[in-house]
Amino acid sequence: MTGKIRVQDKFWKYYREVVRKDMIPYQWKVLNDEIAIKIERERNDDSIPNEKSHAIENFKIAAGLKTGNHYGWVFQDSDVYKWLEAVAYSLNEYMDEDLKALADSVVDLIAAAQEDDGYLGTYFTIEAPERKLKRLGESHELYCAGHFMEAAVAYYEAVKSEKVLTVACKLADYIGRHFGEEEGQIHGCDGHEEIEIGLAKLYRATGEAKYLELSKYFLYIRGTDPEFFLRQKEEEKESTPLIAGLEKFPLSYCQNHKPLLEQDTAEGHAVRLVYMCTAMADVAALTNDEKLFAACKKIWRNIVDKRMYITGGIGSTVIGESFTFDYDLPNDTMYCETCASVGLVFFAGRMLENELRSEYGDVMERALYNTVLSGMALDGKHFFYVNPLEAIPESSAKDPAKSHVKCVRPEWLGCACCPPNLARLLASLEKYIYVQREGTIFANLFMNCDGEFTVHGNPVFIQQETDYPWGSVKNPYAEEWQGNIKFKINCKKETEFTLGIRIPNWANEYVVRVNGKEEAVEKADGIVSITKVFQNDIIEVSLDMKIETWNACLYVRNDIGKVAVSRGPIVYCMEEADNGKYLHLLSIGKHAEFTYHFDSDLLGGVGVIKTKGYAHMLPPQKELPLYQKQREVVETREKELMLIPYYAWANRGENEMQVWIRQER
């Protein structure tokens, strides 16, 4: 995060207010089991706990305030931590004293649940104290600790709560005593990366180098002893698994198959992988570790060039919620977990801390406007865990292999990792708008906001005004030049610096104006840079925001002969609600022309794309032979196709959806 940024953007304000006014109170009720909702399993698997959340109750029991048993996943605590983190960010924007008082009481409760030696983890405190740190492949103890540290730092920064930071340091010190190179310590890490991120944040907040060292330790030990998790499990007297089924996954599931500097492809569980990469990039920036950054770049390249969906989703299979292999991007069985795209945003953000290149912002933007946003319904009370690019309700209902592909967002999920993850990201979006490095302020995301920076000791104020992501609707004749971004710069004293502006990869052309005068500014690494002595200046960038059709690489078997449509940062899709059932019968013409308009009455206000396409006509009789000799004539008629932003699908009941559309040859 750079400077002090306040978001005023209409598009994002809507979501941030939904988080503050709807999601946070709603999630609080869910965590307390105070709301009658249907908690759905994210896939057909009877072992997924879905009766209730019980997350706050678990803390009360661990604190000795109530009696009873722990309920839920071993990582149920992390739902509370992510809620607290989202609350902290939302208090930064709007100080709500009642919410602060509630959050303070949660901090008190967490502190009460912490054991005297610093251990914090309700499952193990309540149910299995003898199993602490004995089965790290499944236990998520350090994963939860990492989430608490992130929440603690956010809450400390928001309200200056010393108490929350003390609890976090006590926990980190407990972990520091138990893990490390010394004899008697555990030489290993957690099966789910996250502690590495939490510790790096704790280091930033406290300046204590030991936390950064510990984060680095956990990164570098991964994969050096691939049998560690298995050995721990065999050594443990207790044989009941903490999470059944994890043992069937390969070592790469936890990125434990080889040392991290040797990992050059994105393997295993997608959320774990991007959390690991986030921490790698973070620690690389904090310690100037070039080898570590080079390792980040290898994995980044593999994700972005070969394993990422056009929507910024990652994870091609439900089995292990994992990556599979290069160019394997099925649209209807994929995983694309919301958390994985949230993690991709974090990873991209940390890459920018190391190196200013527009592609990091491009990927961040792709994930954010598409898969991250699609994780939540417009009401902020229904959530997708899995974000398909093609969905057919009957198929999801009747094909057991697609039970994870939901066509309507559930009210809550048995594994509730995604909703609070989304909330904490949306509530902290201002952290990703700018990156400041020495004498450069880099504008990475575009939204209406104010920013206060200090450059060479001087205060610099930048007001960003933009019609992003839709483009201005005022001038229908200038459609191709609608992505306008204006930076109004105000410095009390003349200050020399560079304003770098990301030119998104979807923009074929751009125009830069400095104080009203067009200037030819070349891009370098996808960035235009204006270096000057600033005082009262206006820098404007216009991006050509025309509708694009995209083909996937020829190795992507699933998308051959198909196109995806985007405009600006937003990927579009066809939905049954607008186009009728059997979307597979529809196609787009080779040289299709598109029209765009903004419909303020649809889905809370969205850009709509229309084009003249084609529809194979079903004959009037319902029963058709399954196979027949090639039909001389397949009756195909012209049909107007309507496309809406992908993120907004499934807000009008259960229906078919398709991102990749067949194209007529």
The catalytic residues are 321, 417
Of the two residues 11 and 148, which places its CB atom closer to Zn ion in the complex? 148
HSE-CB of 171 using CA atoms within 13 angstroms: 29
Site for ligand FUB in 146-175 (CB under 6 A): none
Under the binding rule (CB under 6 A), the answer on residue 415 touching ligand FUB is yes
Of the two residues 289 and 321, which places its CB atom closer to ligand FUB in the complex? 321
Of the two residues 337 and 559, which places its CB atom closer to Zn ion in the complex? 337
Which of 640, 599, 658 has the alpha carbon at shortest distance from 310? 658
> Of the listed pieces 207-215, 312-320, 414-422, 650-658, which binds Zn ion according to CB under 5 A?
414-422
Which pairs from 235-242 meet CB under 8 Å and 24+ separation? Answer: 235/134, 236/131, 236/134, 236/135, 238/128, 238/130, 238/131, 238/134, 241/138, 242/74, 242/123, 242/131, 242/135, 242/138, 242/139, 242/140
Query: Could you tell which of Zn ion, ligand FUB, none binds residue 321, using a CB distance below 5 to 8 A set by kind?
Result: ligand FUB
Q: Measure the CA–CA gap between 529 and 443, rounded to whole angstroms.
A: 10
Q: How far is the CB of 75 from Zn ion (least distance, A)?
A: 11
Which of 301, 254, 272 has the alpha carbon at shortest distance from 136? 254
Under the binding rule (CB under 6 A), the answer on residue 337 touching ligand FUB is yes
Site for ligand FUB in 234-253 (CB under 6 A): none
Q: Nearest 5°: phi and psi at 428? A: -120, 25
Under the binding rule (CB under 6 A), the answer on residue 309 touching ligand FUB is no
Of the two residues 335 and 487, which places its CB atom closer to ligand FUB in the complex? 335
How many residues in the shown chain lie near ligand FUB by CB under 6 A? Answer: 8
Task: For tokens 């198929």, name the residue.
Answer: 395
Q: How far is the CB of 192 from ligand FUB (least distance, A)?
A: 5
Q: What is the largest CA-CA distance in the chain?
A: 80
Please pick, from the candidates 339, 386, 422, 615, the single residue that binds Zn ion as defined by CB under 5 A: 339
Q: How far is the CB of 320 from ligand FUB (least distance, A)?
A: 9
The DSSP bridge pattern shows strands 440-443 and 449-455 to be unpaired
% helix, strand, coil for the chain, step of 5:
40, 20, 40
Q: Measure the CA–CA gap between 132 and 202, rounded to whole angstroms.
A: 23
Of the two residues 417 and 543, which places its CB atom closer to ligand FUB in the complex? 417
Strand partners, 458: 455
Of the two residues 417 and 588, which places its CB atom closer to Zn ion in the complex? 417
Strand partners, 606: 599
Outline where DSSP puts E strands in 113-251: none
Please pick, from the candidates 299, 417, 565, 592, the single residue that binds ligand FUB as defined by CB under 6 A: 417
Please pick, from the candidates 339, 422, 563, 586, the single residue that binds ligand FUB as defined by CB under 6 A: 339
Site for ligand FUB in 70-109 (CB under 6 A): 75
Q: Nearest 5°: phi and psi at 550? A: -125, 140
Under the binding rule (CB under 6 A), the answer on residue 446 touching ligand FUB is no
Helices (H), 358-480: 358-366, 373-374, 393-398, 418-427
Binding mask 23-62 for ligand FUB (x = CB under 6 A): ----------------------------------------
Residue nearest to ligand FUB (CB): 271
Under the binding rule (CB under 6 A), the answer on residue 141 touching ligand FUB is no
Q: Which amino acid is at 293?
A: F
Please pick, from the candidates 20, 192, 381, 406, the single residue that binds ligand FUB as defined by CB under 6 A: 192
Which of 596, 644, 609 has the alpha carbon at shortest distance from 476? 596
Query: Could you tell which of Zn ion, ligand FUB, none binds residue 565, using a CB distance below 5 to 8 A set by kind?
Result: none
Q: How far is the CB of 594 from Zn ion (least distance, A)?
A: 34
How many residues in the shown chain lie near Zn ion by CB under 5 A? Answer: 4
Contacts of 465 (CB under 8 A, 6+ apart): 448, 485, 486, 488
Query: Could you tell which of Zn ion, ligand FUB, none binds residue 661, using a CB distance below 5 to 8 A set by kind?
Result: none
Under the binding rule (CB under 6 A), the answer on residue 218 touching ligand FUB is no
Q: Measure the CA–CA gap between 378 and 386, rounded to whole angstroms.
A: 16
Under the binding rule (CB under 6 A), the answer on residue 422 touching ligand FUB is no
Strand partners, 495: 534
Please pick, from the candidates 271, 435, 650, 657, the single residue that binds ligand FUB as defined by CB under 6 A: 271
Binding site for Zn ion (CB under 5 A): 337, 339, 417-418
Binding site for ligand FUB (CB under 6 A): 75, 192, 271, 321, 337, 339, 415, 417
